[in-house]
């Protein structure tokens, strides 16, 4: 599976397994999704046991794994933020 496919699959997993939805994403109005993505994009192997200081979401949502999978999670969170911004723009 390539990067784009992996990100799309992760986004679907976030909906199905983590309970995220467009409605829930819309509640993050202070760029939390983008900030969470940046935390995952930064190689967080040293933060396996606890979330880094930059983590803006609930601590139990911090679930780093491999470097590649962390980048996939970051990509899915970026997609969520872009979709949130697009929904805001379409409401205007």
Rounded mean pLDDT of 39-61? 82
Residue 1 has pLDDT above 70, yes or no: yes
Residue 17 has pLDDT above 90, yes or no: yes
Residue 6 has pLDDT above 90, yes or no: yes
User: How many domains does the chain contain in total?
Assistant: 1
Q: Which domain holds residue 83?
A: 3-91
Residue 7 has pLDDT above 80, yes or no: yes
The count of other CB atoms within 10 Å of the CB of residue 42 is 13
Please, which pLDDT band fits residue 46 given cuts at 50, 70 and 90? low
Which residues, at least 6 apart from 66, have a Cβ–Cβ distance to it below 8 Å?
none
72-86 CB burial, b ≥16 within 10 A, e <16: bbbbbbbbbbeebee
């Amino acid at each position: 599976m390539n990067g784009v496919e992996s990100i799309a699959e992760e986004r679907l997993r976030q909906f199905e397994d983590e309970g995220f939805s467009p409605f829930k994403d819309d509640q993050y109005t202070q760029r939390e999704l983008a900030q969470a993505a940046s935390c995952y994009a930064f190689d967080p192997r040293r933060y396996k046991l606890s979330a880094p200081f930059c983590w803006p979401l609930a601590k139990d949502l911090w679930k780093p794994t491999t470097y590649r999978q962390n980048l996939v999670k970051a990509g899915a969170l970026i997609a969520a933020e872009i979709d949130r911004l697009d929904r805001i723009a379409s409401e205007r």
